[in-house]
Amino acid sequence: MTTALFSPFMLGDIELSNRIVMAPMTRNRADKDNAPHSLNTKYYQQRASAGLIIAEASQISPEGVGYPATPGIYSEKQIAGWRDITDAVHNEGGHIFIQLWYCGRISHPVLLPDHQTPVAPSAIRPEGDAITFEGPKPYVEPRALSSTEITTIVSQYKQAAKMAKNAGFDGIEVHAANGYLIDQFLRDGTNQRTDEYGGTVEKRMRFLNEVLDAVCEIWPGNRVGIRLSPENSFNSMSDSSPEEHFAYFIAQLNPRHLAYLHILEGDMVTKQRKVNYRSLRDIYNGTYIANNNYDKNRAETALDKGDSDLIAIGVPFIANPDLVYRYKNNLELNIADQNTFYGGDEHGYTDYPFAN
């Protein structure tokens, strides 16, 4: 097998040193102002040998928050914290995009300004509990957004895209996956609107299209990526025909000539893969990033078969800051400590050993 895993790759006008992408992973280690700080800088700098880092999901406004201690990209303090991170990654020769996030119904009033009710396309309560500073709390029934409010959120995406440029990122990824607000509009299990934002696939995609139009006023299309998750049931998500509907969504993305399409393949909850992802990959004319439980062998096979152009790796990057070096030299990997995935200090974050 000849692998392209360690070969350079042109992502638009950016030359990546390899085809290994560090996937965006929420680590809940921002400060009290939801701003990145020096510990976060060290974490990303340690992992800058990835061809591309997609930084953790970052809310575009205070109303977009869904979890404790997650970073934002809407205040000057947050921009300054992110600037330290992007400078550190660039000094190591790496590249970094930021993932723009609005949680929607996956939130709780205690996390939102003035204890607001979370919003969604439709007033459908997700199952389970929100994670808050006060411990788990049952999700509440969200409030359906008005058309005017949707327009406001689109403007927040545009402002966040501008902030990301000011913070020195190489590009942005629009988070339209895993049960958060844009995904809630895309899938018919959560979008039961009867106005211009719901019903047909065309109308369910309208919000995403408006967001992409807005951020592409700030960034050229080849610096804007998008993440989708056609069949992921995480966060109480469902769709009546995911392969058919996402084939449509993906085809509509082609004229935009985006930096990449990043797909979470399969279901994080059931661990099943019922959608034909090669079919979806073939519909898309640009760079395709595959994600979800890839290791070195699966990554090499996917690249060799043409199933993907880049491979996004998650958990192995948590425990192995030098993952690219370890993969390249066939070295044993550190095992990730799941107890330290979310929240805490440097333990399980920046203290994993390097191989050399």
DSSP string over 44-58: HHHTTTSSEEEEEEE
Check residue 230 and give its pLDDT: 98
Q: Give per-residue pLDDT as tens, 140-160.
A: 999 999 999 999 999 999 999
- Helices within 237-305 (DSSP H only): 242-253, 277-283, 296-305
Domain 9-340 has CATH 3.20.20.70: yes
Q: Does 277 qualify as catalytic in the annotation? A: no
Check residue 3 and give its pLDDT: 72
Per DSSP bridges, beta strands 224-228 and 260-264 are parallel
Query: Which stretches of the chain score pLDDT less than 50?
Result: 1
Catalytic residue among 180, 197, 294, 327: 180
Check residue 1 and give its pLDDT: 44
Q: Contact, 207 vs 185, CB < 8 A? A: yes
CA 188 and chain centroid, separation:
21
Within the chain, strands assigned E span 9-11, 14-16, 20-22, 52-59, 96-101, 119-120, 129-132, 135-138, 143-144, 171-175, 224-228, 260-264, 288-291, 310-313
What is the SS3 assignment for 7?
Answer: coil
The pTM of the full predicted model, rounded to 2 decimals, is: 0.98
